[in-house]
Each structure stands twice: as structure tokens, then as C-alpha cells.
Chain A
Amino acid sequence: MSTRLSSGGRLIDRARTVEYSFNGKRLRGFKGDTLASALLASDQMLVGRSFKYHRPRGIVASGAEEPNALVGLGTGARFEPNQRMTTTELFDGLSSASQNHWPSLEYDVGVLNNAVAKFLPAGFYYKTFIHPRAAWKHVFEPVIRQSAGLGRVPKERDADRYEYFYAHCDLLVVGGGIAGLQAALVAGAAGARVLVLEQTAHWGGRAPVDGVEIDGKPAEAWIKASVQALEKMSNVMLRRRTMASGVYDHGYVLADEKVADHTPGDGRPRHRLWRIRAGRIVTATGAIERPLAFAGNDIPGVMLASAVRDYVVNWAVSPGDRTVVVTNNDDAYRTALALKAAGLQVPAVVDARDRADGALPQAARAAGIRVLTGSAIAKAHGGKRLSGVAICAQGGEGNAVTEEIPCEAVAMSGGWSPVVHLYSHCGGKLSWDEAHAMFRPDAARPPTGADGTGFVFAAGAANGALYVQDVLGDATKATIAALQAAGVAEVETVVPAVKAEVEAPMIPIWVMPQGAGPDLRMKMWLDYQNDVKVSDVQLAAREGYESVEHTKRYTTLGMATDQGKLSNINGLAVLSNALNAPIPEVGTTTFRPPYTPVTIGALAGEARGEIFQPLRRTAIHDWHEAHGVEWEPVGHWRRPYCYKNGAEIASAAVNREVLAVRERVGLLDASTLGKILVKGPDAGRFLDMLYTNMMSNLKPGKCRYGLMCSENGFLMDDGVVARIDEETWLCHTTSGGADRIHGWMEDWLQCEWWDWKVYTANLTEQYTQIAVVGPKARAVLEKLGGIEVSGEEFKFMEWREGTLGGLPARIFRISFSGELSYEIATPAGHGRALWDALLKAGEEFGITPYGTEALHVMRAEKGFIMIGDESDGTVIPQDLNLNWAISKKKEDFLGKRGQERSYLADPGRWKLVGLETLDGTVLPDGAYAVADGFNANGQRNTQGRITSTYWSPTLRKGIAMALVHRGPERMGEVLEFPKPDGSSVKAKICDPVFYDKDGEKQNV
């Protein structure tokens, strides 16, 4: 069993007990523990289940690379799934629960998958669930959904807050091990602005665990002195618990600082997302040890050799009384020696190499440890925990077992892989290092910045300097190169001497034993979390998956939350062996950010709830809010959809509002309408290019409706243009289109017709605009007084300026409802006063505020199109029978050439018509009219679709607008519209103008 040793543990404080729980069980650890070290100290070898076969899983690693030990952490509003135990600092009250099992971790029904593993080979989703088609929906999908998924989704709103922090530095050092600290010392002394990020809570990385001496002292002393020196430098900033998650273009880096993960609810933001611009970056991110592929290497108790060493030295945790070390290199002997020094037994070091007579193996032998060279683990025994290993020759097939060794733990080492992620994110290339069988950053092909030179420099183990004696020198070299690239020429450096045992070369071992047959290969795990085995990768290769990217997706190798940190190189090597191609030729998969998962809350930062996005308010917003408004989002605006009287439902309110406008008078807040001023000697010429119709010949004092098209010819916006004076036009756009159309104007003026003398200004927010609409509209304005509004003096499609009830006003006599209508603009500061004045003046006429839905109903009753309903980016004005608004005189305008294309000029296009249902009901929005026959996909042919559909309270029936094949030529024909429930509605094609065809109501 795994236990706490009676002494030692450099990171724990035995005087301070911490209480926590795992699966409801109350447990105790020490301050300084991780959840992983605390659970191991309590003999919790089984911590989870794998994703596919629900195999028992134990802790494998001691850091960010852990694939197995994932828990749901916290409860309620602080619950978060898939948290790595190995990076979770223990705190009082921590509550954790294992994942991927039902009903319990010990007794999991899903383990049945394991029994049928033979039938769940690589690519089983693709192979198994294709036929019969119907089975997918009714059988396979429900079953897979039941057993799939990693962890639970949090149900409650996150109780924590998150924030962003923007930082700039000359040099960003990622990693606070000895390489990172040396880089910071060199750069700090050179006067550069330095930011140093360390992912854990501790400086120094592996060196203290590995028994390294720096400058004649234990590494720990040098680390402490270095951190103290750096803290004194005003140009250096140090941050622990901060994970640099991604490197992006031109030195942009995202980092996630876990501010209060270990002190939840203390009032600080839980995470702080650092958005960093770094001149140059030194990645001192270290290396990750590789597992060895032997049968049963996934049984709880099989761990990385470095992790075993960490647990013993850092947290005084014994993985078991007897640990067998299995390795292809010298470094793992440090684990054997550390175990021995802690008073634990190491029955054997199983070394795949034929010779092991370097300093470390010799030291092991001197400590009384048996070294079995040329040997392999044929098979590990056990279920929920390891019971022993069978030893054989590495060169054989694994059938001739030489010895059975009972043990509680295996410490394995297949060599080390530099953490090249950050170097690779932005295009840095790797080269294959034969000596260490690893990919390392290729300094000749770095990611490049704006000046075309490299901006990421790998240092220490991350650069492939795996022998600790070389680390400080390598880090110094990398830092000097980074500083010189940043323009710092003079750099003084001190490289302290590093003393450690000299290591003999490793040999690559990808499968153990070398000639293992299918039975063993089926039990050799590459990806623990996703259950990908050596046999799966070999099968993929046999089935023709030659590209490593395809193999990854087919087998799901490296697609788990650890993103293949342990499995990548081993899987790649197995694939390249199966393909008989060298590893560098097969290549790696792409490294993509984030390095470790970043919680969504950190990425969202403060942008949640009310400040998720800015809210644009009109001057009358507060009045709407106080009067039963139902809001409709329009871009960043909120517009009243309708106003509800007490318990009134929305549809009843809309009907009431429509009838009030039609019978008396209504009031609409139209302030969100785009208002763009276009001014200058060439303004008329410019607008003639922008609109499909002529605007230059519009007389001052008059208004004209206009359409704008893209160069493709498709309708993109519409609105009323008023000519203010000889040089000035005011262009109204749709509410959602104001910014876009202003940008569109500027694009043409700046980039195409830059010699035209035109100035534009987006005045949308400068004015409140209120529509007074209905038979009594004139009476309301007359009552306020100031501008003559009689039908003789102020005609339809004209505008006047003056004062209205003492307030400055520009009144446009335009109508989107078919009623007598005035739109009154006033500077936004007067907006609310004008609204109040109109309400008061209109009181005796029964004036009724109305919202966007009543507006839409009334425009549809009149057959007016709405951008975004009748148009969708594939519709030209001609489709909407708007030929009258397209100039035939103008030589050119934006979209004219596009509309001349044969497909758009085809008379067989779908065109706008009205529709009346035979039974008076409302047609479903977006419904298609079916035609005879079927298309190539076996679907019914179609001949039209609904673009707008409403209940008309005025006409007391359902009305709709639709685009129908040759529609206007087919008046009176009846079309059939199927509904989702299988029934269908019949509707007759009619004129889209349903109400007041002759326009008598607006011309009074």
C-alpha cells in the first residue's frame, strides 16, 4: 500500500493538517500537498476510470502531464470537472469526486466495455455505427451518450469572478526551473523588462529532487538566492501558479494565473488571464518523461519514475514497500536511489539496455540494488492495484518469463521529451535528436515576428539539454540570443557550475519486449485517458492511415484532455515502425494552444452578465423600461418589441398597438435608425454610386427612398435619404446597418474614390427620432405647434426644420406603415422631453406607444420589405419588384454590373408575392412551398419560401410575404406549405400590398 513516510517531504508542512474529502470520504493531508500526493499518502491507488473501457486508473505523473487522475472539484457553484489531482493544491474543505464510473469507482458497470474490448478497436465509431442508419439515432447514440463524456457539466452559475491583466515586457521567461531562473538573472542584469511565469507554486523545477549541486551548494540554496536576487530587481516581475497557455502572432502570449484556486471564496478573483505582449520569449518549460509500453502498464501502481521520485522527495509519499524500476536510461536510477534512501525496497532495476555501468547504475548496485540488464517487463499483474511483474529478456517475445517479482509499484522511464509546445504554437519547427530519441526545437527555424526574426528561444531541457550539467549554459546561451535579437548588445553573464552524476546514453524502447505478440500488444497502453493501445495504432497503420494526423483522429491517440503529453512520441514511434518509416519522416501532430485546459471563466474574464457586451440605450430607454416593455435586441441596442398592459400577453399587446395606430395615433422610438450625414462638392455623385437610384437630383427639402447593393448586386440596406442643402444629404439606414454602411461609405471614399470631395459622419446617436403615426398624427403635432404641418404646406416625402413645442426639430413626412406619419428628429439631449411632450399632446387622441412588432405587422400589411426578412444576401432588388428604385439612366452604381449577370437576370427567379391562407391561419415562418417531384437527395422539390408572416389584426387574418418561382405571373394560384408536424397549409398567391392599395391614408 502507498503511505506517508515518517520523515522528509520538502514541500509539506507536517505541523499543518488539512482536511479534505474524496468521494465523500473524509481524509487528511498536509499543507503543501497536492490532491494527488495526499491521496497516495492515504493509499488511494485507484482514482478514476478510463474513458472507453472504464479500466481502473491510478496516478501516473506528478504534474500537468497527468492523464488519469482527473476529478470533479468543489460543489455547487464552485464545481468544476476534469481537474488534475497532480496540479491541485490541497486546502481545507477541498471536496473531490472521481469520474467516469457508475455506480461507484470500485464497482463500475462500464467496465463491461473492457470485456468486449476486442470488439471496440481503433475507429470503432466509424466502423460500427454506420449501418443501419436508423439504429444510430435510436440505439447507438443513446447508449454512447450514456457512457461517454468526461466528468459532469457544472449546473450552477459560477460563483467566482475572473479578470484580465495586460502586460508588456522585453523578455518573457516561461518556466521557473533552474533554466528559467538563470534566463531571468541574465536578462534582469542586462536591464531588460522581464516577466517570469512558473506554472506551479514552487520555484526551481526538478533540480532539488534530482540531487543537483549548483555553485558548490545544493540546488535549493541556489534557487532561493536566485529568486531573492530577482525579487530585488525592479525590472523583473515573478509570477507563480501561472500557466503560459499559448504563444500567438507577433509575441502575443496568453497565461492563466490561478490566483485563488487554493483559497476559494477569499474574495480575490479565482483566475487572472494575462494578455502579454513580449518582445522575445524564452521557453524554459522543461521536459516530460515518457512511459514504457509493456503489457499492463495502465494498472494503478505503474507510474513515471520521475513522479515516484517527486512523491518520495517532495511529499514523503511511499508508492509501496516494493517498487520495481524499469528503464532505458540512467536517469531512472535516481528514483531507485531515492526510494532506497527513504528506506524502501527496490527489488530490481529492469534495464532494457545490454549494459548499464554508468555512474548512476554503479551507485545503485553499490546501494545493494539488483540491476537486470537486457531485460523487460513481460507483463504487469493486478486489477485495481498492481501485485507484481513478470520479467523477460527485452530481445524476446515475452513468453520466456525469467522471474516473477511481487511489487506494489513500478517506476518506469522511457526517456524524456522536451516540452516544445510553446515553441511550436506559432510555427517553430522541430528536429529529431537521435541520441535522446526526441524532437527538439530547431533554432534555425524559430517562429518569426514582425521583423522576420525568431522571437521564441528554447532553453535548458525544453531545448533538449537533458543532462542537468548542460542546462544553465544552454539557458544562458538562449537568453543572450534573445536579448541580442531584441537589441541588447551588452550582456554580462555568470554561468555557475552544475554538478550531478554523469549519465550514459539511453536507447529508444518503443515496445517492451521487442518481439511482443498480439496478446501483449493489446495490453500496452499508449494513451491512458482515451484507451489507445499499441495494437490500435498498428491496426490503423495496417488499414492505411499513414498520416500521423489521420491516425490521431482515427484512434483518438493524444486527443484527451492531456493532449498526448505522455503518449505522443510513443504513439508516433509505434506508427513509424508499423509504416517502416523513420520517425522524423512520419512527423508530429500539430501543437496547438492551450498547453493545459483553461477554464472558460478565465477566458471570459469580466465579460459576463450585464457587461457581457455593451448596451446601447436610446434617450427614451428608461421610459420604455418603466412602461411594460418587452425588449428586442437589435445589434447592441434594445428596442421595445411591444408594451404590455399589466397581465397582457405580447401578441395581444401587438394587436392592440396596431389597431391604435390604424384608428387613432401611435408613437414609436425610432432613434436606433442609422443617420449618416454625407457632405461635400462630390456628395451627390458619390450617393449616385452608392444607391441604385438617383440621389443627386433630389431637391433640398425632399426625401427619397433608396436601396444599396453590394458589388455582387445583392440588396444590403435601404432607407430614406433627405437632401438638407446643396452639398448635404442625410442618409437613413436600417438600425442594424448604421455602422456597417458608414464603414462601407468610408471604404469607397478612402480606397477607391479618394480624390472625391466628400465627408461622412455617423450621427446615429446624436439624434432621437420619434415617429408619430396614424390618422390623428397631424392633430398631435398641431397641438404642440411651431412647424406648419398642413397637407398643403408639408407634403408626403418632404422634411421641415424648426421647433416643435419649443424643442428643436427636423420633421420627415415619411411612412413605413401606410398611415399619415411624421418622423421627428431632435438632438438626443432633448429626446426624452420631446417624447414626453408628444405623449401629453396626444393624450386626448388616445396616443399609444408601439414597438417593433407592430411596426413589422403594419409594414407587411402594406407590402413594404424589411432588410433581413425579404433580403438575405442572395436577393436582388429586382426579386422584390423594386425595379422602380433602380436607375436606368445611371451609367454605373455599386451592384449594377453584378445584377447584369445571367443568373441574376434570369426571369425564372423566385420573386416577391403576397400570400393568403385559405383557412385564414398564419403560415409558419420560413416554410417552403413544395413542387412536384424530388431532388437528387430524395427531398421534395420546392418553388418558394415564406419571408415574413404575421397575424393581421387590421384584416383579421394571416398574411405573408414570400419569394416564389415566377411569383408575380402566378396570381391566384394555390401553393402548399408542409409543416413540421406532417400536415400542410394551403395559401393563395396575391398582391403583397394587403392594405390601402391606393395609399389614400398616407396622402391626407
Chain B
Amino acid sequence: MLILECPYCGVKAEESELAAGGEAHLKRFGAGSTDEDFEGYLFARKNPKGVHFERWRHAYGCGKWFLAARCTATLEVFGTYPAQTAEPPADLVAKIKQKRPEWEGYK
């Protein structure tokens, strides 16, 4: 069971008080979008063995959604940050790049 720190309330929350929300930083495509864009938004998901960005909700705590960067293979957690952003914070990206020089970036 993972432990992730909620960036809102500061609680080091155990997985049982969190709800998983899948891949982070998806761009929504609504009415009028192309089939390709819509398919990508709705169905195409990364499944990396390595660095991954995920949505989590502190469901049985403050109720806030936040985002987490972690390694799916080693379970290392690089950081958590508020969900109100279209891309990960620059300092977090730099930290991951330093730890994992071979990482291709979050896109």
C-alpha cells in the first residue's frame, strides 16, 4: 500500500484513504474534436514501466485531487503537487531528470 503526501493538507496518506484517478495531464477533447483526438483523450493511456504521473484524490481526508509522480517499477515517489496545473512543476521535472537521466519526459 502506497503512501502519498497530500499537497493540500500535508497528510502522509495511506493508499486506503486515497482514490486512484488514472493518468494525469490528459487534455480534454469535447464536441467537435476529431476522432483521433477524442480517441486519444478517452482511451489511449500510457502504461510505462518507470516514471508515471497519476491523479489521486484524498478521498477519505480533505477530498482534494492531487497529482503524483512515481516510478511504477520501483514505487519511488518523486513528488506530489496540486491538480490545478496543465503540466508538472519544473523543479519536479528537473529532480526526476537528475535521478533518471534516461527518462524521456512526461509528454
Contact = CB atoms under 8 A, between A and B. Distances in A.
A751 B19 CA distance: 14
A750 B64 contact: yes
A696 to B, nearest CB: 17
A725 interface: no
Contact of B83 (A450, A754, A897): A754
Interface in A224-281: 248-250, 252, 277
Given A452-B71, A711-B42, A712-B42, A750 B31 contact: no
A689 to B, nearest CB: 9
Interface string A450-481: 11100000000000000000000000000000
A175 B38 CA distance: 55
A896 B31 contact: yes
B30 A892 contact: yes
Contacts of B21: 747, 751
Contacts of B2: 249-250, 450
A900 B2 CA distance: 39
Contacts of B55: 751
A449 interface: yes
Contacts of A427: 74-75
Given A448-B74, A448-B75, A750-B65, A250 B3 contact: yes
Contacts of A248: 1
B29 interface: yes
A891 interface: yes
A897 B29 CA distance: 8
Contacts of A249: 1-2, 15, 75
A142 interface: no
A747 B83 CA distance: 10
Contact of A747 (B15, B65, B74, B77): B65
Contacts of B19: 743
B33 interface: yes
Contacts of A900: 31
B84 interface: yes
A898 interface: yes
A752 interface: yes
B5 to A, nearest CB: 9
A80 B26 CA distance: 51
A751 B66 CA distance: 8
Given A250-B2, A250-B75, A898-B42, A892 B31 contact: yes
A635 B29 CA distance: 33
Given A712-B42, A751-B65, A452 B30 contact: no
B107 interface: no
Interface string A394-430: 0000000000000000000000000000000011000
A450 B75 contact: yes
Interface string A883-927: 000000001110011101100000000000000000000000000
A160 interface: no
B99 interface: yes
B28 interface: yes
A743 to B, nearest CB: 7
Given A449-B75, A450-B75, A746-B65, A897 B38 contact: yes
Contacts of A743: 19, 57, 59
Contacts of A751: 21, 55, 65, 83-84
Nearest to B5: A450
B63 interface: yes
Interface in B44-61: 55, 57, 59
B84 A250 contact: no
Contact of B99 (A426, A452, A712): A452
A691 to B, nearest CB: 14
B32 interface: yes
A128 B78 CA distance: 53
Given A250-B1, A250-B75, A712-B42, A752 B30 contact: no
Interface string A585-596: 000000000000
Contacts of A450: 2-3, 75-77
Contacts of B15: 249
A452 B19 CA distance: 23
Interface in A697-719: 711-712
A995 to B, nearest CB: 37
A754 B75 contact: no
Contacts of A711: 41-42
Interface in A89-145: none
A426 B32 CA distance: 46
A448 B31 CA distance: 44
A247 to B, nearest CB: 11
Contacts of B65: 746-747, 750-751
A750 B3 contact: no
Interface in A431-454: 448-452
Interface string A823-847: 0000000000000000000000000
B42 A754 contact: no
Contact of A897 (B32, B64, B75): B32
A448 B1 CA distance: 13
A250 B15 CA distance: 10
A754 B84 contact: yes
Interface string B73-101: 01111000001100000000000000100
A384 to B, nearest CB: 48
A751 B65 CA distance: 7
A427 B84 CA distance: 34
A750 B77 contact: no
A250 B13 CA distance: 12
A426 B42 CA distance: 32
B33 to A, nearest CB: 6
A250 B77 CA distance: 10
Contacts of B29: 897
Contacts of B28: 752
Nearest to A748: B28
A891 B19 CA distance: 31
Interface in A335-388: none
A248 B71 CA distance: 16
A901 B39 CA distance: 10
Contacts of A448: 74-76
Interface string B1-45: 111000000000011000101000000111111010010011000
Nearest to B84: A754
A750 B75 contact: no
A449 B59 CA distance: 23
B88 to A, nearest CB: 14
Contacts of A746: 57, 63, 65
B3 A897 contact: no
Nearest to A890: B31
Nearest to A762: B63
A898 B28 CA distance: 12
A687 to B, nearest CB: 16
Given A448-B75, A450-B77, A896 B30 contact: yes
A426 B75 CA distance: 10
Nearest to A451: B76
Nearest to B85: A754
B39 to A, nearest CB: 9
Interface string A313-337: 0000000000000000000000000
A173 to B, nearest CB: 21
B8 to A, nearest CB: 10
Interface of B: 1-3, 14-15, 19, 21, 28-33, 35, 38, 41-42, 55, 57, 59, 63-65, 71, 74-77, 83-84, 99
Given A452-B71, A743-B19, A750-B64, 16 more contacts: A248-B1, A249-B1, A249-B15, A250-B3, A427-B75, A448-B75, A450-B3, A450-B76, A451-B77, A711-B42, A712-B42, A746-B57, A750-B83, A750-B84, A892-B32, A893-B31
9 contacts: A249-B15, A252-B14, A427-B75, A448-B75, A452-B74, A452-B76, A746-B57, A750-B65, A897-B31
Closest 10 CB pairs of A and B: A452-B76, A754-B84, A448-B74, A892-B31, A892-B30, A896-B31, A750-B65, A252-B1, A450-B77, A751-B83
